[in-house]
Amino acid sequence: MNLTSGYPFWLVRHGLPFDYTKLQKDVKTEVVIMGGGISGALVSYYLTQAGIENIVVDARTIGLGSTCASTALLQYEIDTPLCELQHKVGLYDAVRAYRLCDQSINTLETIAQKIKFEEFERRESLYYAAVKKDVKFLEEEFQIRKKHGFDVTLLEEDGVLNKFGFNAPNAILSAQAAQTNAYSFAHALHQFSIKKGTKVYDKTSIKKITHKKEGVTLNTDDGYTIAAKKLVYATGYESVKYIDKKIVDLNSTFVVTSEQGNDEDVPFKNKTILWSTADPYLYMRTTPDNRLLIGGRDEPFSDAAKRDSLLPEKAHDLVKDFKKLYPHIPFKPEFSWCGTFGSTIDGLPFIGEYKKLPNSYFALGFGGNGITFSLIAAEILKDIITGKKNNDIELFSLDRV
C-alpha cells in the first residue's frame, strides 16, 4: 500500500544512505522481523543486544514506508490526554503508560549516544489551548500530571505571549520532550546491528506465512523460504490484515516545511515543540537546518488517491495556521507531504503475543507517539522472547479489545 505522498523532508535530505541486499536464498533464524522501519529497527537492536539471532525483511527499500514521513516528535504525552485516559484504562494504567513514554525518551537518547547517532535533540513541549473553552481542560490535565510527578508548568495567557510570542488562553509547558529523525535513526540502528551479525534484507516481499507450534515459515515472492522460531510483525497498520478484529482507525496527516532559515527566524523559545488542543491538533517543530515544520489537518483515510489530492490545499492551510500564530514571521514552504497513520480507541499501542497465530508477536506503535511506543514494544518483546517477566504486557495486549 502507498503509505506516503509528496516529498518527505528526511528522504529528500538523506536519500538512500545505505545499501541492503535482497534475500536470494533460503535462510533459518531464531526470530524474523517483518518490517524494517523504526519499529523493526528498534526490535532488532534489542534482540541483537540480547544475543538473539534475528533477521529483518522489508518489502520496500528500508525506511520508505511510514518512517520517512514521520515528523519524529518525541513526547511522553499520547493522543489521549491523561485526564481522559484514566477513565478508559484506569488511573494506575494511565499513569503507567505516560511514565513509560517519559522513560522511553531517556532510553532513546541513551541508544542514540551508544550507536553514535547525532540527530537527537532535547526539547521542551508546549501544549497550548486552541480556544478559550479548552482552558478548564488544560487546567485539569495539568493538575493530574503534576500530581503524578511529571515536570510541567501551567502558563497563563500572558506567560504564553511573553515566552513564545503568540496568543493562547493558557498552555502546559513540559520539560521532557525531544525530536529526532526517524528515517536516519532507523538506518543507524540497522547499521549498528548489522555490525553485530544481524542480517537486513529489503525489497523482499512475503507472499505467504505459515504459523505452527514449532515455528514460522515465510515464503517470498521470489520463491525463497525463511524458517524461524518466532515472527515479529512490525509493519504498522499493514499488519492488521493478520488480526481477525478491528483494532485501529486509519487517518492521514499532512506536513509542510519552510525554506531554510536562521536562528533568529525561529519563534519558538529554545526551539520548543508546539502542539494544540484542537481536534485534529496542529503541531510544530524545527529541523537541524532551521526550517519550520508544521503538521496536522488530519483526515480519515479512505484511499491513497483521495489523500494525495488533498495535499496542496492542506499544505496551504497549514501555512495559514502558522501565520495566525506568527503573522510577522516569514514562512516560505519548500517541502510538503502526507502520510497515513493508525489510531486506537484508547490511544495506546498494541504490543505482544497474538495467540491465534502461534509464535507471532506484534509491535504496533499506533498514534502520534509512534517512536516512543516502538521503543516500549522493543523492550517488551525482548523480554517475552527471552523469557523475562514484564509487568506491562497486559497494558498493551492485543486482547484488551
Residue 320 located in a structural domain = yes
Query: 275 and 337: one domain?
Result: yes
- 39 & 129 share domain: no
pLDDT of residue 141: 98
- Helix H or strand E segment including 177: strand 170-180
Q: What is the pLDDT of residues 237-268, one digit of tens each?
A: 788 888 988 888 888 999 999 999 876 767 77
Give domain status of residue 360, yes or no.
yes
Question: What letter would DSSP give residue 282?
Answer: P
Average pLDDT, the chain: 94
pLDDT tens digits, residue range 17-38? 999 999 999 999 999 999 999 9
- Say whether pLDDT at 65 is over 80: yes
User: Would you state the pLDDT for residue 88?
Assistant: 96
Kindly tell me if the per-residue pLDDT of 145 is higher than 90.
yes
Q: What's the CATH code of the domain at 259?
A: 3.30.9.10
Query: Which residue range(s) make up the domain with 314?
Result: 122-177+248-343
Confidence label for 188 from pLDDT (cuts 50, 70 and 90): very high
pLDDT for the residue numbered 339: 85
Task: Check pLDDT > 80 for residue 216.
Answer: yes
- 140 and 272 share a domain? yes
42 and 172 share one domain: no
Query: What pLDDT, in 10s, does the model give residues 106-117?
Result: 999 999 999 999
Give the residue from 401, 400, 79, 373 showing the smallest Cα distance to 246. Answer: 401
Same domain, 148 and 258: yes
pLDDT of residue 262: 75
> Which one is predicted more confidently, 208 or 268?
208
Classify 78 in phi/psi space as left (phi over 0), alpha (psi -120 to 50) or beta. Answer: beta
As a whole number, mean pLDDT of residues 188-198 equals 98
Judgement on whether residues 330 and 272 belong to the same structural domain of the protein: yes
pLDDT bin (cut points 50, 70, 90) of residue 5 is low
What total of structural domains would you count in the chain?
Answer: 2
User: Using only C-alpha atoms, what is the Rg of the chain?
Assistant: 21
3-state secondary structure of 197: coil
Average pLDDT over residues 298-323: 91
Q: Say if 101 falls within a structural domain.
A: no
172 and 189 belong to one structural domain: no
Residue 94 lies in a domain: no
| Cis? peptide before 280, omega within 30° of 0 | yes
Cell, residue 120? 537527537
For 344-377, what is each residue's pLDDT tens digit? 889 999 999 999 999 999 999 887 778 999 999 9
For residues 371-395, give the mean pLDDT: 97
Min mean pLDDT across 193-202, 296-305, 325-334 is at: 296-305
- 138 and 219: one domain? no
* Residue 287 counted as domain residue: yes
Q: Do 162 and 199 fall into the same domain?
A: no
Mean of pLDDT values over 91-97: 98
Per-position DSSP letters for 341-385, written without gaps between them: EEE-SSS--EEEE-TTSTTEEEEE--STTHHHHHHHHHHHHHHHH
Residues 254 and 137 in one domain: yes
Which of 297, 328, 343 marks a domain boundary? 343
φ and ψ of 379, to 5 deg: -65, -45
pLDDT of residue 3: 46
190-194 contacts at long range (C-beta below 8 A, 24 or more positions apart):
190/18, 190/20, 190/36, 190/41, 190/44, 190/56, 190/62, 191/18, 191/115, 192/45, 192/114, 192/115, 193/41, 193/44, 193/45, 193/48
